[in-house]
Amino acid sequence: MEDHANLQQFKAEFFKALAHPMRIRILEVLCDGEKSVNELQTILGSEGSAVSQQLSVLRAKNLVNTVKEGTTVVYSLRDPLIKDLLAVARQIFDNHLVESISLLKGIRKS
């Protein structure tokens, strides 16, 4: 029973790490390959402190790897399955969107 509790705790912590739009966006960007903090800031169009704060959470939850190259820190996904998880989340979103559009079309016809 303890294994189930440990697994549930891991999942809860894992999903907490995903519970911020910028962290999800960072992970989506890293799906395309490793990036430095400056590259992430540019892509996200966000200030350094906000990006660094979210990267810190992702590091603490072991969702990203870091490698120091001179004075630059480069981030990458720790587990390539994160890319699959984000793709499945997108599919679920698309399914909900299709259902909502169908529902709205049905309301219009009434």
Per-residue pLDDT tens over the stretch 28-71: 999 999 999 999 999 999 887 999 999 999 999 999 999 999 99
Q: Which residues pair with 67 in a beta bridge?
A: 74
In this structure, of 34-38, 87-91, 103-107, the range with the lowest mean pLDDT score is: 103-107
Grade residue 83 by pLDDT with cuts at 50, 70 and 90: very high
pLDDT band for 110, please (50, 70, 90 cuts): low
Q: pLDDT per residue over 7-24, tens digit each?
A: 999 899 999 999 999 999
Domains and CATH numbers, the chain: 2-78 (1.10.10.10)
- Residue 107 pLDDT class (50, 70, 90 cuts): confident
Which residues make Cβ contacts (< 8 Å) with residue 22, sequence separation at least 6? 44, 46, 50, 51, 54
pTM: 0.82
Predicted confidence at residue 48, as pLDDT, reads 78
- If pLDDT is split at 50, 70 and 90, which confidence band does 1 have? low
The three state secondary structure string of 10-22 is: HHHHHHHHCCCHH
